[in-house]
């Protein structure tokens, strides 16, 4: 195992958050911030240039999403150690990130308390997933996921569009939309459109 500090790349489109992370890492003798990126495309470029030991990756970014950036990086460097930074504690978002190749998942609200532990844990070759997120993943693991078409419909419903408008935009009948919504309600265990949207947003199935 190589000696020296853990080399970290920080990827987030908010400069204030990057500055906050810099402040947390600065006093740590065993961790060195080697680079920053403000979007997913830049993250892939910086990773290839710097080959950091650990990459901290936001999910919601312009140009290229964090999920897509993780997939691009791990396709070329299967041993890349990436910790997701996110405001979403939803299980679906977490599973997407982990399937793309992330080794850790960290809520931005927990940065001060957990960032250093997450970096050191992932660098040591282990996964880092907060207990409440892991519990959400376990609770929903056996459930039937929404299909891509159901997610498309729910995303349009979330913007306040009526069934007939959703049907027109997706080039299907209004009855088809209603049938999909009934299936969505059943899968999510909810009674109406509002509950479906709220649940889907909380779990990271859709985002606004």
pLDDT of residue 115: 95
Mean pLDDT of 27-35: 95
Mean pLDDT of 32-51: 96
**What's the rounded Cα separation, in Å, for the pair 184 and 146?**
7
Strand order in the sheet with 54-58: 31-37, 6-11, 54-58, 82-86, 104-107
pLDDT of residue 55: 97
Residue 60's pLDDT band, with cuts at 50, 70 and 90, is confident
Which sequence spans correspond to the domains of the chain? Answer: 6-139, 148-203
**Mean pLDDT rounded to a whole number for the chain:** 91
The first and second tokens of residue 111, run together, are 């940065």
pLDDT of residue 132: 84
The first and second tokens of residue 149, run together, are 């078409």
Residue 147 exposure: Cα atoms within 13 Å on the Cβ side: 8
What pTM value is reported for the model? 0.78
**Is the CATH number 1.10.760.10 carried by domain 148-203?**
no
pLDDT of residue 19: 94
pLDDT of residue 2: 60
Helix, strand, or coil (residue 3): coil
pLDDT of residue 94: 85
**What's the rounded Cα separation, in Å, for the pair 184 and 73?**
33
The first and second tokens of residue 126, run together, are 């282990």
Query: For the domain with range 6-139, which CATH number is right: 3.30.460.10, 3.40.50.2300, 3.40.50.150, 3.40.50.10190?
Result: 3.40.50.2300
């Amino acid at each position: 195992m190589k000696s020296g500090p853990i080399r970290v790349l920080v990827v987030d489109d908010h400069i204030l958050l990057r500055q906050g992370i810099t402040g947390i890492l600065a006093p740590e003798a065993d961790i060195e911030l080697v680079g920053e990126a403000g979007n997913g495309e830049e993250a892939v470029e910086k990773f290839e240039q710097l080959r950091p030991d650990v990459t901290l990756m936001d999910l919601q970014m312009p140009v290229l999403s964090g999920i897509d950036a993780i997939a691009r990086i791990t396709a070329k460097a299967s041993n890349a150690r990436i910790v997701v930074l996110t405001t979403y504690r939803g299980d679906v978002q977490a599973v997407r990130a982990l399937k793309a190749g992330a080794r850790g998942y960290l809520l931005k609200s927990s940065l001060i308390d957990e960032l250093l532990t997450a970096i050191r844990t992932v660098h040591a070759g282990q996964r880092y997933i907060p207990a409440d997120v892991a519990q959400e993943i376990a609770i929903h693991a056996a459930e039937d996921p929404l299909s891509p078409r159901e997610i498309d419909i729910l995303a349009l419903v979330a913007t306040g569009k009526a069934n007939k408008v959703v049907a027109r935009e997706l080039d299907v009948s209004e009855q088809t939309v209603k049938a999909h919504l009934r299936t969505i309600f059943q899968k999510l265990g909810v009674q109406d459109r509002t509950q479906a949207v709220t649940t889907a947003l909380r779990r990271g199935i859709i985002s606004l």
